[in-house]
A and B are shown apart, each in its own frame.
Chain A
Amino acid sequence: MKSLIAALALSTALITPGLAMARPVTLTVNMADYGGRPAYLAIYVTDSSGAYAGSLWMAGGKTRYYRHLSDWSQLSGGDVAQVDGITGASVGSGRTMEMSVDLTDALFDAGYTLHIDAAAEDMRDSPNEIAVPLTAAGGGQAVSGRRYIADFTYRL
């Protein structure tokens, strides 16, 4: 578990003096039994206009495969520095990934959307597998994925 404030602070949209006003948020990704090799997941946030706001986590360490996370790749410009220090292992079929991130209050109920792109080798790319608005009320509610992710939950 890593603190992700630093990474988010890189994005101009989120540079606020209120960095201290952060709260721990638990992200839980339950993978579906899709039966292939471990999947790469990019978890990132866009603002109300759909513009890239920052990355929260990258599951999968080999940067040459990041272009298969095609929305993340387009929005972030494929910039590996965006996930520097917030990269972990890819997530296997049927597994669960849980992590805690410190997110600024400013992200909630302000039109921000959390996205997850997923891809696995020799299988389809699944950009925008998850797209869930960040709201205080939405915390704790499971959202279904389309191909690789059974469901996703964030808890404040």
Chain B
Amino acid sequence: MLRQLHRWPGLLAAALILALALSGAALSMFPAMERLSSPAAVQGQSIGDLAAKVLASHPGVEQIRRSPSGKITAYWFVGDVAGAAVVDPVTGMDVGSADQGAVQRWLTDFHRSLLLGDSGRYATALGAFALLILSLSGAMLVARRQGGWGRWFAAIKGPWAGRWHAELARVAVVGLGLSALTALWMTAATFDLLPVDEANPAMPSDVSGQTGMSPAEMAALQDTPVADLRDLTFPYAGDATDVFTLTTGAGTGFVDQGTGKLLAWQAPGPWTVVGEWIYLLHTGDGAALWGLILGLAALTVPVLSLTGGLIWWRNRQHRPHLRGMVAASAAETVILVGSEGGSTWGFATSFARAVQDHGQTVHLGALSTFLPQSYKNAKRIVVLTSTWGDGDAPTSAKGALDRVKKAAPMAGVPVSVLGFGDRSFPGFCAHAEALEDAFRSAGWDMPMPLERIDRQSPQSFARWSRAFGDMIGLPLNITHQPMPPKSTALRLVSRKDYGESVQAPTAILRFAVPKAGLWHRLTGRGFGRFQAGDLIGIVPDGSVIARLYSLASSRADGFIEIVVRKHTGGLCSGQLLALQPGQLVQGFLQPNPGFRPDRSRVPLILIGAGTGIGPLAGFCRSNRGHRPMHLWFGARHPTSDYLYAEDLAEWQNDGRLTGLHTAFSRVGLQNYVQDVLRDDAEVIRRLMADGARVMVCGGREMAQGVRDAMTEILYPLGLSPAMLKEGGRYAEDVY
């Protein structure tokens, strides 16, 4: 619901909001320029003094206005010819033209009415309303994404488009929302929808009838500082019954031209006062710095539009296309999917089609949309979900667990949960298990036990579908062959071999970056954009299942680099280690936003062993800003499998790597990286006190060893790896 509320105004009003934002950003500079170009104010000057000076230089002066920025403009007549100029309050002499420049006038007209008069004003008001909805729904989405309003400024993770969208939006949303709200108020005022209560005192009937007093002697004008002035209108020359009309921030009144006394005074009503603040908040007129801040906020709109459009487009691409799908409220079978990369969607779609083939109505949706009260015709709910990391919800299942815990169970509607995962991970199907538990404790009817599918096994899935079919009385036997993502041929450019003498043949393989079109670059698909820490999937000959390797290079390096160790009997590693420069393998890119250095300047503690050094070396190589990076690296022997030895030395020399600590298990102290960590506990604690972040890459056992060591090391600080993980300060990439 919230997403819809954010998506549609965003897509439909994008061009309109873009036009308003860009013109608004340009306009935001004018108050600042006016402030800089206006003559300096005279401290403590009275209106009487100013009026006398202007009167001396322009005897035919009729009106003096002071803009919120402090610019003073005088209007006069010489005979029948009207004149006007910006005047210097010190001398009363002209210093510049009073007329607003044509550019500013054009921009203003464009900004508020698209140069289309009143119908244009309605259109821009619509744009402002869309922006207001976008700001409010967007703020709620950011809060939801971050896990609460209190975590508004916590680190943002995820694919770059979404990250940048949220990153910019959380800073700009206040400015954008205020701009939209104040715009709507101003439009309402323009169309007389708000009460008008400006000060409009009645003209005094009783005046002295005298003339000729200098404004400098008039008490009413002497008592008021120029800083309060809005407008001073002089009496008609030769009309003894006329008066000075004085408007200040506090109201409007009349001053007798013969006695200088205040004859009448009225303060503006609350609507006018609020309206003036609204005007200032919207235009920055009189608050130049605020105006520039609003302008900067407006400048985020093009980026937000672009990234927002991309997010929508990508989600659309990822959404499975199920012909004949019905709304959630009409479906007999509701299928909910928790998926990170999209493979679970594939299984779910095959399953949905098979159920449809038996004449059942089906709704297929993201698990995060779980809303049982809307499943009015449901006979069963089926949940298919993968697991993210050590048991977290995958992207399309965010928040589902809480929803399950809160929702009341539906009588007579059984729930089946099917988990997808990789048995070699400790958190195998952990999210599916958590969901299963949540459903059970909430009291749902669960006739089938949780089934777990290992590594997308088509056989296990077919078996589960038969069992499910038996339960609901439909003959199901679904064969689903998962399609690996579209892969690209990668050409090996060079290789560097290690570890032969310690029975751990390892190679650093460097591939050429395949050519990517502009679209791929923009959308970050294919090899258009990648960073160290992202994953590359290699599909070996004779298999459909891809193996994932961590990237040790970024797009800016101009090559794709991975570190591969040969596993006994390993199909993929065997083929890779046999690869000679010039030869090709099939690969695809899989972004891994959870394992990337943040953009701050706090120190990074990088911990890796064996091939796990790959992404960490990539981080160092990209560290051209010389952020403090400290690497702890474990290998077997310094002369055999000390990966990146020369590079690390070079990076240490040129400042890309701050500290290097090594552990070798077959020589000298014969210790592991976690042992060296314990030795360096003091160093680590000092870095952590400076706010350091930890990134660990390597095998499962090594990661566990490091976690144990870090638990001990951090204990005196009152910290733990689990707490740090929570706060985004401890990231692991484990295989």
Determine whether the beta carbon of A124 is less than 8 Å from that of B63: yes
Nearest-Cβ distance from residue A132 to partner chain B, whole angstroms: 14
Determine whether the beta carbon of A63 is less than 8 Å from that of B200: no
Which residues in window 187-210 of B have CB below 8 A to A? 189-192, 196, 198, 200, 203
Determine whether the beta carbon of B77 is less than 8 Å from that of A63: no
Determine whether the beta carbon of A36 is less than 8 Å from that of B99: yes
Determine whether the beta carbon of A144 is less than 8 Å from that of B200: no
Q: When chains A and B are docked, how far (Å) is the Cα of A123 from the Cα of B476?
A: 79
Determine whether the beta carbon of A64 is less than 8 Å from that of B192: yes
Please tell me if B248 contacts chain A, counting CB pairs below 8 Å. Answer: no
Determine whether the beta carbon of B200 is less than 8 Å from that of A67: yes
Determine whether the beta carbon of B82 is less than 8 Å from that of A146: yes
The dominant DSSP class at the B interface is mixed
Chain A residues contacting B233 (CB-CB under 8 Å) are 70, 125
Which residues in window 102-125 of B have CB below 8 A to A? 102, 105, 109
Nearest-Cβ distance from residue B96 to partner chain A, whole angstroms: 15
Chain B residues contacting A74 (CB-CB under 8 Å) are 203
Determine whether the beta carbon of A123 is less than 8 Å from that of B203: no
Determine whether the beta carbon of B192 is less than 8 Å from that of A146: no
Q: When chains A and B are docked, how far (Å) is the Cα of A82 from the Cα of B641?
A: 95
Determine whether the beta carbon of B75 is less than 8 Å from that of A124: yes
Determine whether the beta carbon of B99 is less than 8 Å from that of A124: no
A89 to chain B: closest residue by CB? B117
Q: When chains A and B are docked, how far (Å) is the Cα of A63 from the Cα of B82?
A: 26
Chain B residues contacting A147 (CB-CB under 8 Å) are 82
Which residues in window 44-84 of B have CB below 8 A to A? 62-63, 75, 77, 80-82, 84
Please tell me if B503 contacts chain A, counting CB pairs below 8 Å. Answer: no
Q: Please tell me which one of the listed residues A63, A70, A73, A125 contacts residue B192 in the complex, with CB atoms under 8 A apart.
A: A63
Please tell me if B100 contacts chain A, counting CB pairs below 8 Å. Answer: yes
Q: When chains A and B are docked, how far (Å) is the Cα of A124 from the Cα of B200?
A: 18
Chain A residues contacting B102 (CB-CB under 8 Å) are 35
Determine whether the beta carbon of B80 is less than 8 Å from that of A122: no
Chain A residues contacting B189 (CB-CB under 8 Å) are 64
Please tell me if A78 contacts chain B, counting CB pairs below 8 Å. Answer: yes
Determine whether the beta carbon of B105 is less than 8 Å from that of A62: no
Determine whether the beta carbon of B191 is less than 8 Å from that of A62: yes
Which residues in window 10-57 of A have CB below 8 A to B? 35-37
Q: When chains A and B are docked, how far (Å) is the Cα of A144 from the Cα of B80?
A: 9
Q: When chains A and B are docked, how far (Å) is the Cα of A64 from the Cα of B80?
A: 29
Chain A residues contacting B196 (CB-CB under 8 Å) are 63-64
Determine whether the beta carbon of A146 is less than 8 Å from that of B190: no
Nearest-Cβ distance from residue A89 to partner chain B, whole angstroms: 9
A123 to chain B: closest residue by CB? B99
Q: When chains A and B are docked, how far (Å) is the Cα of A62 from the Cα of B117?
A: 12
Q: When chains A and B are docked, how far (Å) is the Cα of A56 from the Cα of B438?
A: 77
Please tell me if A104 contacts chain B, counting CB pairs below 8 Å. Answer: no
Nearest-Cβ distance from residue A93 to partner chain B, whole angstroms: 11
B236 to chain A: closest residue by CB? A128
Q: Mark B392-430, 1 if CB is under 8 A from A, else 0.
A: 000000000000000000000000000000000000000
Chain B residues contacting A67 (CB-CB under 8 Å) are 198, 200
Q: When chains A and B are docked, how far (Å) is the Cα of A35 from the Cα of B192?
A: 26
- Please list the residues of chain B having a beta carbon within 8 angstroms of any beta carbon in chain A: 62-63, 75, 77, 80-82, 84, 99-100, 102, 105, 109, 189-192, 196, 198, 200, 203, 233, 236, 245
A-B interface, 8 closest residue pairs, ranked by CB to CB distance from nearest: A147-B82, A124-B75, A122-B100, A64-B196, A74-B203, A63-B192, A146-B82, A78-B200
A-B contact pairs, 21 of them (CB 8 A): A35-B102, A36-B100, A36-B105, A37-B105, A63-B192, A63-B196, A67-B200, A70-B233, A70-B245, A73-B200, A74-B203, A123-B99, A123-B100, A124-B62, A124-B63, A124-B75, A124-B84, A126-B82, A128-B236, A146-B80, A146-B81
Known A-B contacts: A64-B189, A124-B62, A146-B81. Give 14 more (CB < 8 A): A37-B105, A62-B191, A62-B192, A64-B196, A67-B200, A122-B100, A123-B99, A124-B82, A124-B84, A125-B233, A126-B82, A128-B236, A146-B80, A147-B82
